[in-house]
Amino acid sequence: METEKEFRLMVAPLQGLTEAAWRRVHFDMFGASQGEVEYFTPFIRVEKGEVRGRDLRDFTSELNHGINVTPQIIFRDVAEWRLLVETLADAGAKRIDLNMGCPFPPQVRKGRGAGIILHPEVISEIGEEMKTYAGSIEFSVKMRLGVKDPSEALRLADIMNEMPLRHITIHPRTAAQQYKGELLLDDLAVFTSKLNHPVIFNGEITSPKDIEALSSRYDGVMAGRGFLRRPSIFAEYLAGREMNAAEIEGLWLHLIKGTASELEKRLCGVAQLRDKMKPYWEYAPITLDKKIVKQGRKQ
Ligand SMILES: Cc1cc2nc3c(=O)[nH]c(=O)nc-3n(C[C@H](O)[C@H](O)[C@H](O)COP(=O)(O)O)c2cc1C
């Protein structure tokens, strides 16, 4: 009997935003109504030859208890990759996501994030290493279509098809585009036609209708900035009912207040808390009263 393929819902990693405190409060608010959602940590990196402790703690934090969280890593070569994977395996990770999409020029220049797209030989070597973790760790990839040219990823299709991957998440832009500009959907279609892994679409998802439209073309979606602005988006999609602006604003404010009180327990003083909370206000619902947003930023 053929079973219907599940459509996967994922929360994007965003440094300084979709982190443990926010994730805990979000999950406590929506966990029961949003099905099997998978959250990803912002990338965990190697610094001065060691895995950065602060990054790692976002995965090992007790705040993640009971939440489906996959750690993400960023690396430039097999040595960094192995150090990160071994450290995460020791910390209990059963799944790891590989960042091949970060567009930040200093990372890209060093061959990390999207920069690794230009190094198929490194990806191929990592693909072979991955096979030694069969049965203990599952891997996935999050990537862009290229650094400057969206055809750059095409050279990786055969290599990636040989890699044991749960899925490939694709943000259909080049690194040069950063987070703005046209989504390169034609280039995405060419690339995905060559892939044999499940494909997760990531980019500019802002409403349950967007998810609906993507559901017949992809194996899942990953939402980032749109998810921050509308934290109920997956719950709304699954319930088949769109909330009104006032409902969304109320939930957003509740989530932000909850995140702040969770962080307050861990940070030292008002200034630190204000700095940590500021980025969330950049992703307030667009309908939220500007006076509330202005006040929130200053708190
Ligand atoms: C502030 C910020 C931080 C981000 N941090 C990460 C990260 O750590 N790892 C990653 O793979 N992508 C990161 N991204 C990219 C997002 O995960 C996502 O791919 C991008 O925002 C496009 O999706 P969206 O249009 O749904 O936001 C970040 C994006 C922003 C704006």
Mean pLDDT of 35-53: 97
Please determine, for residue 2, whether its predicted confidence score (pLDDT) is greater than 50. Answer: no
Domain ranges within the chain, ordered by starting residue: 8-245, 248-298
pLDDT at 70: 98
How sure is the predictor about 61, in pLDDT bands with cuts at 50, 70 and 90? very high
Mean pLDDT confidence for 31-48? 95
CA of 174 to the centre of ligand 1 (A): 13
Mean pLDDT of 27-49: 96
Residues 54 and 10 sit within 8 Å (Cβ to Cβ): no
Output the pLDDT for position 299. 78
Q: In whole angstroms, give the CA distance from residue 74 to residue 81.
A: 8
Does 141 contact ligand 1 (Cβ within 6 A)?
A: no
Closest by alpha carbon to 123, among 154, 88, 163? Answer: 163
Band of pLDDT at residue 1, cut at 50, 70 and 90: very low
Q: What is the mean pLDDT of the chain?
A: 96
Lowest mean per-residue pLDDT among 5-9, 13-17, 105-109, 156-160: 5-9
42 lines ligand 1 (CB under 6 A): yes
d(CA 171, CA 222): 9
Q: Does domain 8-245 have CATH number 3.20.20.70?
A: yes
Q: Residue 42: is its pLDDT beyond 80?
A: yes
State the pTM of this model: 0.97
The answer to whether 36 and 68 are in contact (CB under 8 A) is: yes
Any atom of ligand 1 within 6 Å of the Cβ of 18: no
Q: What is the mean pLDDT of residues 11-26?
A: 98
Q: Which residue has the higher pLDDT, 266 or 40?
A: 40
pLDDT digits 0-9 by tens, 261-273: 999 998 988 999 9
SS3 174: strand
Residue 100's contacts (CB-CB under 8 Å, 6 or more residues apart) are 113, 114, 116, 117, 123, 141, 142, 143, 144
Distance 2 CA to ligand 1 centre (A): 35
